[in-house]
Structure 1
Amino acid sequence: MGELAALGMAERVRVDTGRVQNIVDELGEIAAKGLIQMALEQMALAVRTLQRVAREGDSARTVAKARRLSRLACQVGLVSLSRVADDVAHCADRQDAVALDATLARTVRVANRSLSEIWDGV
Structure 2
Amino acid sequence: MAEPVSVDARHLQKIVRELGEEAAERIITRTLHQVLMSVQMLCRFAKTDAVEETVSQAERLSRLSRQVGLVSLAAVAGETAICARSGDRVAIAALAGRVERVANRSLNEIWDGVC
For residues 116 and 49 of structure 1, the distance between their equivalents in structure 2, rounded to whole angstroms, comes to: 19
Q: TM-score, normalised by structure 2?
A: 0.94
Amino acid at match of 2:50: D
- Whether contact under 8 Å (2:49, 2:89) holds in the other structure is no
Offset of residue 53 of structure 1: 1.2
Aligned partners of 1:102 and 1:51: how far apart in 2?
10
Q: Aligned ranges for residues 24-39 of structure 1 at < 5 Å? A: 24-39=16-31
Structure 2 distance, partners of 1:69, 1:26, is 23
The unaligned stretches of length 5 or more in structure 1 are 1-7
Greater helix share, 1 or 2? Answer: 2
Q: Are 2:71 and 1:73 equivalent residues in the alignment? A: no
TM-aligned CA deviation for residue 11 of structure 1 = 2.6
1:94: how far off?
A: 0.5
CA distance in structure 1 between the aligned counterparts of 2:22 and 2:112, rounded to whole angstroms: 15
Identity of aligned residues (%): 51
* Residue among 5, 28, 48 paired with 1:13: 5
1:83 corresponds to 2:75: yes
TM-score, normalised via structure 1 length: 0.89
Match of 1:43 in 2: 35
Query: Could you say which residue in structure 1 is the equivalent of 2:51?
Result: 59
Mark the runs of 5 or more structure 2 residues left unpaired by the alignment: none
Displaced runs of 4 or more, over 4 A: none
**Deviation string, structure 1 residues 2-37 (Cα, Å, up to 9, x no partner):** xxxxxx4x1310011111011001111121111111
Give the partner amino acid of 1:55. Answer: K
Residue 89 of structure 1: how far off its partner (Å) = 0.6
Superposed CA RMSD in Å reads 1.0
Equivalents in 2 of 1:101, 1:58: separation in Å? 11
CA contact (8 A) 1:50 1:62 kept: yes
Partner of 2:109: 117
